[in-house]
Amino acid sequence: MITVIGFDADDTLWHNESIFDANHTRFCALLSRYHDAKTVETTLYATELRNLELYGYGVKGFALSAIECAIELTQGRISGDELREIVVFAKEMLRHPVELLDGVRETIEALAPAFRLFVITKGDLGHQERKLAESGLTRFFERREIVSEKDPATYRRILEAGGVQPGEFAMVGNSMKSDILPVLELGAHGIHVPYSLTWQGERAAAPEGGGSRYHSLSSIHDLPGLIRRLNAGTS
């Protein structure tokens, strides 16, 4: 029986990658007199990956990587005036209003009376806290976990702290790598709800063969029905 449902936040509860994507485009435009967009994108991604362990996830690390990338791609010739644009991007991203995905509010409200709900997200601590507060969903989540990495050890710690057995836990999220594969490894259910865009660093193949604890939905609207069928043993 599934009694506890965990939700990823960025691109599961609210739009996020679309905001990063728009700022990647602005970044390419900023550097367009130096390099073509493909070179800029490739170098930016390489810079982000190289810095991920040091910076972690979130807007501030992205901005520092973008600045480093811009300096590298122009061999230091880019001016402070041009780099100012990246600081402006970063602040706009941090101030961007929270836009819930279609169906999220109704789904959370429908599940809340019958299930313990957790939100488990990575990124900048303060930014994620502000987005959660602005979402209006805080009161539905018994546990709100902002973590630096979503690996099996992190999920195990959260389940233990909540007194939850893996078999009674389902994690819902858009990232196969961060939301699905680590919880399947623990023996929990993973419910993949893809977002229209996935950052390269979050891409992973679906689990081989799938297995009875892996599920995929095209919309979060279908989540209550899936949980009902799983708990009735008819799915």
Piece of 13-21, 64-72, 100-108, 184-192 that binds a copy of itself (CB under 8 A): 64-72
Sign of the torsion angle spanned by Cα atoms 121, 186, 109, 176: positive
Distance of closest approach, residue 123 Cβ to a copy of itself, in angstroms: 9
Residue 129 contacts a copy of itself per CB under 8 A: yes
Number of residues that bind a copy of itself (CB under 8 A): 34
Residue 168 contacts a copy of itself per CB under 8 A: no
The Cα-based distances of 197 to 16, 25, 85, 99 in angstroms read 9, 14, 24, 15
Angle (CA) 24 25 31, round 5°: 90
Angle, helix 37-55 to helix 59-73, in steps of 10 degrees: 130
DSSP run (H or E) holding 148: none
Distance of closest approach, residue 63 Cβ to a copy of itself, in angstroms: 6
Residue 119 contacts a copy of itself per CB under 8 A: no
Residue 125 contacts a copy of itself per CB under 8 A: yes
Q: Among residues 58, 13, 2, 4, which one has the least CA distance to residue 173? A: 13
Residue 156 contacts a copy of itself per CB under 8 A: no
| Terminal CA-CA length for the chain | 12
Backbone torsions φ then ψ of 173, nearest 5 degrees:
-170, 170
Residue 77 contacts a copy of itself per CB under 8 A: yes
Distance of closest approach, residue 161 Cβ to a copy of itself, in angstroms: 9
Options 5, 11, 13, 61; binder of a copy of itself; rule CB under 8 A? 61
Residue 63 contacts a copy of itself per CB under 8 A: yes
Residue 80 contacts a copy of itself per CB under 8 A: yes
Phi-psi region of 159 (alpha: psi -120 to 50; beta: other; left: phi over 0): alpha
Across the beta sheet with 169-173, the strand order is: 143-147, 116-122, 4-7, 169-173, 189-192, 214-216
Residue 56 contacts a copy of itself per CB under 8 A: yes
Options 8, 10, 17, 124; binder of a copy of itself; rule CB under 8 A? 124
Site string for a copy of itself, 88-117 (x = CB under 8 A): --xx--xx----------------------
Binding site for a copy of itself (CB under 8 A): 54-56, 60-61, 63-64, 67-68, 70-71, 74, 76-81, 83-84, 87, 90-91, 94-95, 124-127, 129, 146-149
